Amino acid sequence: MIIKSLDKEKMMKNPEKISEMDRREFLKIGLVITGVFAGGSIVSVASAAEKIFPNGSIAEKYPYRPHYCMVIRVDRCIGCRRCVEGCVAANAVPSYGWRTLVLEREARQAIGQKREFIPVLCNQCNNPPCVRACPVTATYKDPQNGIVMMDNKKCIGCKICLAACPYDARYYNEERGAVDKCDFCFETRLSRGEKSTACQAACPADVRVFGDLSDPRSRVYRLVHQLQKPVWVLKKDTDAKPNIFYTKG
């Protein structure tokens, strides 16, 4: 089977010419084949949290209070995609767009094969390439909570941030005339007093754990700093310093 994927150099030179259909097909198909499950550059595994943060606790490295993050326990995911449905409903995501996806593959086992799933979304990076790339500061990192946000009024639709994002976590919303992305449901839930994101609330298997990484009492803090099980991030080699962590159990 031939897989069509986007050419990154082409994206950087002419991001306005990349169709949303091509981008969505790349996200659904190409990303799975080219790295997430293939042991390529997209996944970098750390044996414990100190390998991700060699200079100590992340809470000591960054000023955000709260410091929102998400831990995804991949072995719990059953691929039902209720997280995606919840996100779409809460954030009015159009059919051609996405804020979160669930990628999948068939993994070989000693006997037969097993289907594996991995939820993906904006990684809310501490060193976000998209923010540095935006020529009009339409995308920025919230100084209080660290969420990478979008200012629709400032966005000029150049799509440079789409090409800069190492996680392909953005899309152009034609109705709004601006780029859209996951903001941990800040506008639709957190700012209104909710304590969880729509994707976490919709998940029947407790795959996604959302919370404050600066609070040692929080579930996310304990999961990220655990020593018993591997904790990893996607594309660690980009130095984007993501706030989405993966583990099992």
Which has the minimum average pLDDT: 48-52, 73-77, 81-85, 217-221? 48-52
Burial class (CB in 10 A: 0-12, 13-18, 19+), 188: middle
Please give the domain boundaries of the chain with CATH numbers for all domains. Answer: 8-247 (3.30.70.20)
The pLDDT assigned to 59 comes to: 59
Residue pair 72/208 in contact (Cβ under 8 Å)? The answer is yes
Q: Is 240 or 41 the better-scoring residue by pLDDT?
A: 240
Q: Can you say how many angstroms the Cα of residue 187 is from the centroid of all Cα atoms in its chain?
A: 17
| HSE toward the beta carbon, residue 220, CA cutoff 13 A | 23
Q: Residue 183: which of 8, 194, 158, 174 has the closest Cα?
A: 194
Q: Which two tokens stand for residue 32?
A: 């799975």
Q: How far apart are CA 63 and CA 49, in angstroms?
A: 19
Q: How far apart are CA 67 and CA 41, in angstroms?
A: 27
Phi, psi dihedral angles at 18 (to 5 degrees): -80, 120
- Which pLDDT band holds residue 49 (cuts at 50, 70, 90)? low
- Which pLDDT band holds residue 113 (cuts at 50, 70, 90)? confident
Which has the minimum average pLDDT: 7-16, 37-46, 113-122? 37-46
Mean pLDDT score, 157-163: 98
Q: What's the pLDDT tens digit per position in 178-212?
A: 999 999 999 999 999 999 999 999 999 999 999 99
The pLDDT assigned to 183 comes to: 99
Q: Residue 230: which of 71, 39, 48, 56 has the closest Cα?
A: 48
Q: What's the pLDDT tens digit per position in 79-102?
A: 999 999 999 999 999 999 999 999
Q: How far apart are CA 155 and CA 114, in angstroms?
A: 43
Preceding peptide of 128 cis, ω within 30°: no
